[in-house]
């Protein structure tokens, strides 16, 4: 059984309106004072807030009373064309023609055109599938540029009954008559919590966790930071537990290699919090053949993006093309991506910890 409610912008006002309710699920439409439309999807464990017409980014995710979203400067999402103008969400779709931080030879926006894309349509979806009952959101965005690329992006999300996890999907179809370059990353921005531990399905070796030692223009290093950078580059295990916040100002970026894969073909990472619960991310290496880690803690922004699965690394178009990391979509070809993320309660986390330890 599957159903949907097609959304219209007129449904979104300053007053919350419960547009759907079934069992433990609910969906509410509303609008921030900034004018940005929001859809809150909830179950018995918590809720997520999605921006249905702004790239369908997940603005916040709260389960079992734990707000998983990074500390940021934004009290609300702001109308924006680039992600840096409203950088305060839990998750966004990074890409799709370009991704990452532009280098000296690049002219693309930070993380591409998709994060704040003005969606053509949005709908609430509900029903059941192989993983049980769900309530979620789906949408469509058509990108077309004269003498350029033409594609359709179809993000969707499913929240499960009784679960702190949710499934995030992206389908990209090349509608043009020529080959299309593709760069995609599912960009999560989880909270930074002092003494949280990052659990990964491979050893903390210099072969598996490669520290970015080049310094981009936007990073302003201090002598203390440079000392810690060199220490971590030689011993990545220094970052397994997040200790003093001041160590991570400015940011650290790591390239992750050789993750262990479970019997079902999935890769699992955890950010274990102090209460024993964990922020989780799982994905398939058949869809995402790259992964990075991004950690930063300053007075305004604190984030522990323990894994960011992607089709490339986030060094900008020219650098990624030189590495051979650009994917190609043939005319009419579609590629689909799926990430599961959210919160595992303490008992759930223990089971996943055992799986990760068996793979590392």
pLDDT in tens, 141-198: 999 999 999 999 999 999 999 999 999 999 999 999 999 999 999 999 999 999 999 9
Mean pLDDT of 82-106: 96
Domain count, the chain: 1
Is 254's pLDDT higher than 80? yes
Q: Left if phi > 0, otherwise alpha if psi is -120 to 50, otherwise beta: which for 147?
A: left
How do the residues of the chain divide into helix, strand and coil, expressed in percent and rounded to 5?
15, 45, 45
Q: Residue 26 pairs with which residues in a beta bridge? A: 21, 42
Q: How far apart are CA 224 and CA 253, in angstroms?
A: 17
Q: Are 200 and 267 contacting, i.e. CB atoms less than 8 angstroms apart?
A: no
| Residues of the domain holding 28 | 2-359
Question: Residue 341 has what pLDDT?
Answer: 99
Supply the pLDDT for residue 220. Answer: 84
Percent share of the chain, pLDDT over 70: 100
Whole-angstrom Cα distance, residue 303 to residue 68? Answer: 10
The neighbouring-strand residues paired with 137 are 124, 157
Nearest to 276, CA basis, from 343, 356, 357, 341: 343
What pLDDT, on a 0 to 100 scale, did the predictor assign at position 218?
75
Q: Is 40:27 a contact under the CB 8 Å cutoff?
A: yes
Would you state the pLDDT for residue 35? 98
Note the residue count of the chain. 360
Q: What is the pLDDT of residue 72?
A: 98
pLDDT at 245: 85
Q: Measure CA 196 to chain center.
A: 19
Cα-flanking dihedrals φ and ψ of residue 94, to 5°? -100, 130
User: What is the average pLDDT across 350-354?
Assistant: 98
Enter the tokens of residue 278: 């964990």
Cis previous bond, 250, omega within 30: yes
CATH number of residue 345's parent domain: 2.70.98.10
Residue 6, SS3?
Answer: strand
pLDDT at 219 over 90: no
pLDDT at 250: 93
pLDDT exceeds cutoff 90 at 322: yes
Mean pLDDT of the chain: 97
Tokens of 259: 């993750």
The pLDDT assigned to 213 comes to: 86
What is the pLDDT averaged over residues 345-351? Answer: 97
360: confidence class by pLDDT, cuts 50, 70, 90? confident
Query: At 264, is the secondary structure helix, strand, or coil?
Result: coil
Q: What is the pLDDT of residues 17-34, one digit of tens each?
A: 999 999 999 999 999 999
**Helix residue spans in the chain (DSSP H):** 223-234, 317-323, 346-359
């Amino acid at each position: 059984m599957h159903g949907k409610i097609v959304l219209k912008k007129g449904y979104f006002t300053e007053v919350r309106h419960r547009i759907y309710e079934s069992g433990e699920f609910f969906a509410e439409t509303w609008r921030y004072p900034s004018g940005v439309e929001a859809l809150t999807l909830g179950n018995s464990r918590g809720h997520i807030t999605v921006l249905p017409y702004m790239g369908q980014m997940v603005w916040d995710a709260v389960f079992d009373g734990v707000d998983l979203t990074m500390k940021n400067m934004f009290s609300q999402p702001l109308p924006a064309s680039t992600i840096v103008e409203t950088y305060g969400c839990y998750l966004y779709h990074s890409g799709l023609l370009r991704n990452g931080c532009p280098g000296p030879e690049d002219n693309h926006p930070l993380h591409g055109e998709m994060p704040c894309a003005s969606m053509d349509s949005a709908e609430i979806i509900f029903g059941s599938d192989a993983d049980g009952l769900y309530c979620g959101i789906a949408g469509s965005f058509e990108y077309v540029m004269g003498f350029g690329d033409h594609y359709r992006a179809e993000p969707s999300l499913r929240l499960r009954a009784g679960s702190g996890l949710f499934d995030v999907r992206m389908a990209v179809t090349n509608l043009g008559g020529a080959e299309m370059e593709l760069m995609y990353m599912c960009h999560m921005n989880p909270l930074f919590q002092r003494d949280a531990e990052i659990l990964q399905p491979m050893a903390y070796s210099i072969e598996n966790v490669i520290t970015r030692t080049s310094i981009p223009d936007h990073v302003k290093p201090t002598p203390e930071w440079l000392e810690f950078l060199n220490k971590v580059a030689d011993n990545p295990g220094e970052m397994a537990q997040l200790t003093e916040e001041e160590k991570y100002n400015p940011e650290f970026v790591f390239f992750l290699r050789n993750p262990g894969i479970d019997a079902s073909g999935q890769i699992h990472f955890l950010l274990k919090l102090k209460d024993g619960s964990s922020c989780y991310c799982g994905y398939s290496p058949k869809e995402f053949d790259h992964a990075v880690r991004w950690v930063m803690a300053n007075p305004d922004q604190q984030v522990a993006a323990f894994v960011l699965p992607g089709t490339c690394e986030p060094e900008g178009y020219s650098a990624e093309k030189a590495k051979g990391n650009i994917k190609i979509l043939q005319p009419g070809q579609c590629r689909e991506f799926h990430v599961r993320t959210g919160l595992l309660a303490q008992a759930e986390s223990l089971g996943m910890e055992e799986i990760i330890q068996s793979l590392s």
